[in-house]
Structure 1
Amino acid sequence: MNIRLTASPLDQVSASWLVVGLFEGQDRLPDQVQGTPLAEVLTKEIDRKEITGSANELTPILGLSGFAAGSLLVVGLGKREKLDAGVSFSAGYTLAKRLSGKARDSVAIALPEVDEARLPAIISALVEGVIAGTRGPGLRKSEPNRHEFGELTLVAGSEPSGAVRQEIERAIRRGEIVGRAVNLARDLVNTPPAEKAPARLAERIREIADGAGVQATVWDEARLRDERFGGLLGVAAGSDQPPAFVILEYRAARKEAPTLALVGKGVTFDSGGLSLKPSASMEDMKSDMTGAAVVVAVVEAAARLALPVNLVGYLAITENMTGGRAMKLGDVLTMRNGKTVEVLNTDAEGRLILADALSYAVENEPARILDLATLTGACIVALGLRIAGLFGNDDAFCEDVQAACVETGERAWRLPLDDDFKESLKSTVADLKNVGGRWGGAVTAAKFLEQFVGAVPWVHLDIAGPSWSDSDGSSRDAGGTGCFVRTLVTYLETAAKVEAASAGTSTV
């Protein structure tokens, strides 16, 4: 998709579709609309309450004379005071999903009227949403049902000054890279499980890394035995497909700058093992590698944006199956850091593979560790399908991640990690058991992971809810969502600015 910026009058913009945003309850039409044939139509429809401007409302206007564009689409932006990156992303996704059902040579979008300081973030999010919205989950349909636009034109209300134009163009480029990263994560999740066995997925990740200039190292089963990854090997034992461990290294900051470790759960299909899931609960279990997919997408986006950060991704990849060598209830596994774990539920496998990955990450002395995992159904019970559970051992780190969530409109809620939750993880035969009691399952899972991070500042995101959508809606598709790619890129950009300030350099 070729994306360009123009300041042409709306009625002179040539495109298959021209999209105009409208705020809810605004007392006057956008300046770009004033004096055009669209102004009269909108005034009448607003008076009749056929158009309200509510968020993601779509109203096509066909056959309007006086416009170079073939058709017009009015998209609701909600209340003006609530317009932020999250709203902008959602609007972009909604309009793109509506228009991408057919191949379009060109689509133009009138930029909303916001102050210059906020404009780059709004534009980036809008572009991210448009790119994500033109990509659906139908990867294996015989005929594609979504089509990327040939050209996307963003129409400014007036010709921006040189400095402002540069900021806008940077925002457009950022939005395109981040939007494609979101789609990369979604595509990896939506890929059928037979096509992403651990070794095959690891090679696909290596190809992605090579294309972005990121160093990728893949460990096979033999190497994992040498490296004492008892949790990953234990979970993989029930599958005919061997496990893999992938290390992604992107270092673009000074050597002394802090390194962030991103750790991702990569269970390419989760049957539950001998603690077998019901069939209905397995239908979306190709998505149990969302954490790994998000890490891949974030590292790739950081590289393509040339962010001045040091970033290492650790991906533990396996299937959880029921073969004759599958781990059994009562088995004891020895993790990378030497801790022993009694397995009392083979469907609590994510924490076992993350234990090895976190232990290894700690050995490499990062400044901070963040892991993402579709870890517990209990987190969905607690927070629903749209909000991730956030846990951590460092208040400042948790607050930084939450601040990035606020900037992007993605939602995470901090949950407790009190020491008394560890009591339920005590085992009579090993250092730990892999499940606690009936209550607070998301917390006990996080408390288990905490035993493998030592004193390193650490955040755990339980993304079981927002990682997947069962239903189709105007501003999202069924399937993988690519959640928290946008948030973590934003977090890295902020971290880069902090590091640049401490080093006396610039990130621009």
Structure 2
Amino acid sequence: MNFSFFSGELARASGEMLVIPLFEGETGEGSPGLLAQAHAALEARLLPAATQEGFKGKSEQTFVMHTLGKLEAERVLLLGLGARARFTPEVLRLTAGRAAKTAQRLKVRSLVFALPGGLDASATVRAAVEGLELGAYRFETYKSSAREEKNAPRLTTVKLALAEGEKTKELEQTVALAQRVAEATNWARDLINEPPNVINPERLARAAQEMARQSGLKASVGGRKEIERLKMGMFLAVARGSVNEPQLIHIEYTPKNARHAKQAPVALVGKAITFDSGGLSLKPTDSMVDMKTDMAGSAAVLGAMKVIAAMKPPFPVHAFIGACENMPSGTSYRPSDVLVSRSGKTVEVTNTDAEGRLVLGDIITWATEHKPAALIDLATLTGACMVALGHYLTGAFGDHDATVNEVLESARAAGEEMWRMPVTELQKDALRSEIADMKNSGERWGGATNAALFLKEFVGDTPWVHLDIAGPSVSPKERGYNGKGATGVGVRTLVEFVRRRAAQLEGSEATEAASAPTAPAPKARPARGGRARS
């Protein structure tokens, strides 16, 4: 989309639709200035018409009215934000997503979006831009009707109307960042929504390489021989049942500044089971239908790397991904097999459908060998986390409080809700094996914590956060900026985490430079053949 700022009377703003988000109670006397302008231009008919239809600005309420030539815009769209006291930027992001979906249904190509006043301008601009971009997303690659409507009108132009103040360079930079984040999230959604006969491990690796080349990142991809050389016994076992070869993916961002390049990297690890049948512990059909999305963690990591490359943080960022399929065949790994991990720990297999943690264990071990300052893994790991938190919350695990809190604060700022879950030694008995160092799956109770405890065995002393995105990786219905299908959850949080770390480091470097002692001025030298003057 093409975004720009608009200042002036809304009645004169050119665009096919005028969008005005409103808080509950703002449709009566003392309406906000932007709404009052539109109401006056429509000969005081807007608010009575909205009230007659029951619109009060409550959350998720919508009202559309034709302007009949009274405004430059053909329609006015009022959207409810709910109570101002409960407002967060995510509320506006979801509302902007609804605006984009309404524009699609009405075949609107351009709109004017009035930003609500009395709020942080940068936060509202970012939320609106991301919500509009995310809300306009559609995955219709394989629909004949979509191909026939290839040239149908699409939302391409948006003017942002500020309630107060004027555009600044900072707001323009905010728009640019929000667009990059939303576009990367939509790119991740595409990867997740593609069918598994298209996005297999090799195609995922190729997509990672293409992204890296376009973004100026270094990409390394290895196959089965490289995985064998690295002695990743758990990864190899999971991959054994599929005819599609496993892929080991490493994407690197390194700052050009030599001093910054020597900083400890941030490591991002994404689960990449491009299709999960459950292996010999075969899933029922209904549970298998959506298992093309079992690589959502890797898609989020790759999407975040697209943005990180443009942000250029003052420290390295690495992405580590092990991609394979979990399939049943004569060569599949079996329940009761004992596997040797890259770390040397042995694992008794009790359930071949607990495969993601096996691959992640070897990949996390490999990532920690790069001595990261922090490691974050994203994985659609357990149905148990969905049972606990539902479709819209990510479970966050980790025992390094500072890093966990940093991730939670980043998620809150990005509008991706997370809830901290326990990683307690009390559950460790569930993974105890009689014949190996541990089992890959324990009892049903505390399943999400058991999976996190398994991963923790491969982390060592690295500050680590595990994000179980099994619930929010796929939306079961249309909601705000999400349609039914992949959400790209995690991209925004990872970008915000890196952005905040970069700002913190740059701030500390600026402070050090300002407090550094000033070198004394050189003494004056006597002129040749004479005396120095005092």
User: In structure 1, what is the equivalent of residue 501 of structure 2?
Assistant: 495
User: In structure 2, what is the equivalent of residue 305 of structure 1?
Assistant: 311
Q: Distance in 2 between matches of 1:296 and 1:412?
A: 20
- Aligned residue for 2:34, secondary structure, equals coil
- Aligned residue for 1:40, secondary structure, equals coil
Query: What is the CA-CA distance between 1:103 and the residue it aligns to?
Result: 4.6
User: In structure 2, what is the equivalent of residue 131 of structure 1?
Assistant: 133
Query: What is the CA-CA distance between 1:435 and the residue it aligns to?
Result: 0.5
- Aligned residue for 1:245, secondary structure, equals strand
User: In structure 2, what is the equivalent of residue 192 of structure 1?
Assistant: 195
Q: Distance in 1 between matches of 2:144 and 2:315?
A: 41
Q: Distance in 2 between matches of 1:309 and 1:65?
A: 55
Q: Which digits, 9 at most, give the CA deviation of each residue in 1:54-79, with x for residues without a partner?
A: 22322111134420112121111222
- Aligned residue for 1:77, secondary structure, equals strand
Of residues 62, 75, 82 in structure 2, which corresponds to 1:78? 82
Of residues 238, 248, 254 in structure 2, which corresponds to 1:251? 254
- Aligned residue for 1:313, secondary structure, equals strand
Which region of structure 1 is more displaced relative to structure 2, 371-380 or 56-65?
A: 56-65
Q: What's the % identity of the aligned pairs?
A: 38
Amino acid at match of 1:281: S
Q: Which digits, 9 at most, give the CA deviation of each residue in 1:341-362, with x for residues without a partner?
A: 1111000000000001100011
Q: Distance in 2 between matches of 1:353 and 1:233?
A: 8
User: In structure 2, what is the equivalent of residue 2 of structure 1?
Assistant: 2
Which region of structure 1 is more displaced relative to structure 2, 414-423 or 311-320?
A: 414-423
User: In structure 2, what is the equivalent of residue 463 of structure 1?
Assistant: 469
Give the conservation status (yes or no) of the 8 Å contact 2:117–2:164: no
User: In structure 2, what is the equivalent of residue 87 of structure 1?
Assistant: 91
Q: Which 5+ residue runs of structure 2 have no aligned equivalent?
A: 513-534
User: In structure 2, what is the equivalent of residue 149 of structure 1?
Assistant: 155
User: In structure 2, what is the equivalent of residue 234 of structure 1?
Assistant: 237
Q: How does 1:324-335 map to 2 (within 5 A)?
A: 324-335=330-341
1:17 correspondence with 2:17:
yes
The normalised TM-score by structure 1 is 0.95
Change beyond 3 A, Cα 1:212–1:63: same
Amino acid at match of 2:282: L
Give the conservation status (yes or no) of the 8 Å contact 1:402–1:412: yes
Q: How does 1:22-171 map to 2 (within 5 A)?
A: 22-26=22-26, 28-35=30-37, 36-38=40-42, 40-45=44-49, 47-48=51-52, 50-101=54-105, 103-115=107-119, 118-144=120-146, 148-158=154-164, 160=166, 165-171=168-174
Q: For the pair shown, which has the larger CA radius of gyration, 1 or 2?
A: 2
Give the conservation status (yes or no) of the 8 Å contact 1:371–1:461: yes
1:447 correspondence with 2:460:
no
Q: Which 5+ residue runs of structure 1 have no aligned equivalent?
A: none
1:283 correspondence with 2:289:
yes
Change beyond 3 A, Cα 1:501–1:414: same
Change beyond 3 A, Cα 1:147–1:66: closer
Query: What is the CA-CA distance between 1:419 and the residue it aligns to?
Result: 1.1
- Aligned residue for 1:34, secondary structure, equals helix
Change beyond 3 A, Cα 1:114–1:216: farther
Query: What is the CA-CA distance between 1:46 and the residue it aligns to?
Result: 5.1
Q: Which digits, 9 at most, give the CA deviation of each residue in 1:218-245, with x for residues without a partner?
A: 1111111111111111101000001001
Q: Distance in 1 between matches of 2:476 and 2:70?
A: 43
User: In structure 1, what is the equivalent of residue 342 of structure 2?
Assistant: 336
Change beyond 3 A, Cα 1:190–1:6: same
Amino acid at match of 1:85: P
Q: CA RMSD in A?
A: 1.8
Query: What is the CA-CA distance between 1:501 and the residue it aligns to?
Result: 2.0
Change beyond 3 A, Cα 1:64–1:202: same
The normalised TM-score by structure 2 is 0.90
1:172 correspondence with 2:175:
yes
Of residues 176, 182, 194 in structure 1, which corresponds to 2:185? 182
Q: Which digits, 9 at most, give the CA deviation of each residue in 1:346-393, with x for residues without a partner?
A: 000000000011000111100110000000001111111111111002
